[in-house]
Each structure stands twice: as C-alpha cells, then as structure tokens.
Amino acid sequence: MSLVNLLKDLTTLNGIPSNEKEVSTYIQSKLTGEYVKDNLGSVIYKKGKGPKVLISAHMDEIGLIVTKITKEGFIKFQTVGGFTSLNMLHQQWTISTKNGPIRAISATRPLLTMSPDQKSKAVSVTDLYLDAGFTSDEEALKAGVHVGAMVTPYTEFQVLNQNRVLAKALDNRAGVAVVMELFEKINKLSNEFYAAFTVQEEVGIKGAKTSAYMVEPDIAIAVDCGAGFDVPGGDKEGNELGKGPQIYVYDAGLIAHHGLRNFVIEIARKNNIPFQESYMTFGNTDASQMHVAKNGAASLFIGIPARNIHSHTSIVDLRDLENTVKLLTKVLEALNEKSVNEILY
C-alpha cells in the first residue's frame, strides 16, 4: 500500500483517548509479526535481537465525549485532549453510536444576538453544543446517541498540490503510518526493535508509560507531529513542511539525550537525508514517559511538521513522512551492541 493510501485509511478511522480500538484493529490487520498488548490497549510489535530499541507513535486523536442530551435534542460534550473553541465553532463532527455514525455540527448562540464586544471574543467551549438535527432527547437516544459516546472531527481527506495532505487526526496518524512502514520494511537489524502504537497520549501520555515499562528499552524514540509554523506570523526556522523530519533538542517534557540526538543527526548527514533541528517550550510526547521508565532510556522526539495542529484541518507534507521512514531505517540499521553502548556510556 502506498503511504498516501495508508495515511488516508488511518485518518478516516475514529479513535479518541481511551477509545482507540478502530485504529489498533486496523494496525493488527495490516502488520505481520509478533506483538503484545498492555492493559490500556497499546499494541507493541517486535522483531530482531540485541539491545532494545523502542519507537512509538500514539494512535489517539483529540475529540469529544457526549455528557448530556437536552430535552430539545441538542448535545453537550466534554473535550478530550487539546481542543480550543477557536478550532471548533461551526465544524462538522462524527458521533459514533451502536447504530452507526451520526453527523453533527458544533454551534453556539446566534451571532446576530451578540453585541459587537461579544463577537470580538472567543466563545467558551462550555457555550458550544452539537446539533445533529434532533428535535428531542428521545429522538437522539433512539438514534443511538448516549452519554459517553465518542465524537471525532469530520473532514474529507484531500491531497493538496501533489505532496501536501489535508485531514483530521494527522496528529498522530502520520506518526502511526511512519512506524507501520518502518516495521514492515526493516530487515537488517542488530537490535531488538519494538514498534509501539500507544494509547491516551493526548490526555497524559499514558500508553507510552505502560509500554516502556513492559519493554524496558535502552533507546526510545517518539514519532509525533511537530510544529508546522511556516505560515504568516509563525517562526518557520526548523518548522517547515517539506524540509524533512524535525530532530528536537528540547520540549516541555524532554531534554533530548545528547548522545542519541548527535547519533541521529550524524546518520542523517551521512545519508543525505534532509532534517531540521527544532525545539518547543510547549507540549509533551511519548518520549517524556519512555525516557524515565524503569532504568531509563536514551530518548528523542522526532517530529513530522504539521500545520493547524489540533484542528479539523491539519496539513502535512508526504515527503516529510518518507524521509522520516528513511532516517529511522538507517538509524535502526546502525544501532547494535557497540553503538548503543557508546550512546549510553
């Protein structure tokens, strides 16, 4: 399967934190090999022998959970993950029910009833509701809507200008696609490679913690969406689409292991693989938990630049995914007993 088709399949699936089963089932249907699961739902594949190398990508996307159905049939909700009202108003959503998916839009009180001052301010999330066309709570319940139902963004997958892709859930189905491709294609191994597809990253990085505890890796790398800030008003240096994977020196949960980071950069330069050096003072990834599991692991966050992250309409460049696969392939091929010991000690 081509990378673009894999990404289309993955982003079409629905899976908020604690409800990633659609995604994990798909991964298990496509990958072959030995795997185990933690009790939260993370799936961990394994191949090779030697020092333990864990590369993870989280399966969950941000979304909503139904908390209440009004007598008039409107649906109230709780955000799950980092959604803000700036990215939510008048968007389409999918409510997952036992009777099948239901489409809805998010709305608030009519703009025509607001004062100019009120219109200039961001709407509070608590003032939003979902409108699925129901006229009563009985209609909504009969259709299958219930408290606790999963709600996910609805966006049509589109290829823009050949290499750019627009979709929902690119954070972090882009990373999932990369790690799936990597696991399927890598053969020259002198290490014990674990490909972990983790759960609940968006609400506390939980699956990475349990997965790393099970694996006890020597080396751990998180593949996640990074900052795509090459837009008006953004800081594009190190954060550009199409310029290669981002090798982060720092984020809010991890100071990159110097030895591992230098090792990866040297591999990229030696093999003429484009990359960017970046940092961010916000946001955590799986690496923030993997690096402190049991005895600890030399850890790194490699980002795939994404514009409009945590929205219905994120954009990535397919060349960045391809170059991330190339880079990690070369890194895995170079990690053996000797090189891992040099990185660690």
Tokens 């938990």 identify what position? 289
Q: What are phi and psi of 199, to 5 degrees?
A: -110, 160
The rounded distance, in Å, linking the Cα atoms of 185 and 325 is 9
Query: Annotation-wise, does 317 bind a ligand?
Result: no
Query: Annotation-wise, does 137 bind a ligand?
Result: no
The rounded distance, in Å, linking the Cα atoms of 145 and 209 is 33
Tokens 């995914």 identify what position? 321
Per DSSP (E only), the strands in the chain are: 34-37, 43-47, 52-58, 63-69, 75-80, 92-97, 100-107, 129-131, 150-153, 158-160, 164-167, 192-198, 219-227, 246-251, 254-255, 276-279, 298-306, 314-317
Query: Annotation-wise, does 171 bind a ligand?
Result: yes
Active site residue 266: no
Query: Annotation-wise, does 58 bind a ligand?
Result: yes
Query: Annotation-wise, does 291 bind a ligand?
Result: no
Q: Which position among 201, 266, 277, 342 bears the catalytic label?
A: 201
Contacts 24+ apart (CB under 8 A), 154-162: 154/91, 154/92, 154/93, 154/94, 154/103, 154/312, 155/92, 155/312, 155/313, 157/7, 157/8, 157/11, 157/12, 159/4, 160/315
- Grouping H, G, I as helix, E, B as strand and the rest as coil, residue 18 is coil
CB neighbour list of residue 235: distance below 8 Å, 6 or more residues apart: 229
* Edge-first strand listing for the sheet containing 158-160: 158-160, 164-167, 314-317
The rounded distance, in Å, linking the Cα atoms of 161 and 157 is 13
| Binding-site residue set | 58, 171, 202, 224, 310
| Binding-site residue set for Zn(2+) | 58, 171, 202, 224, 310
Catalytic residues: 201
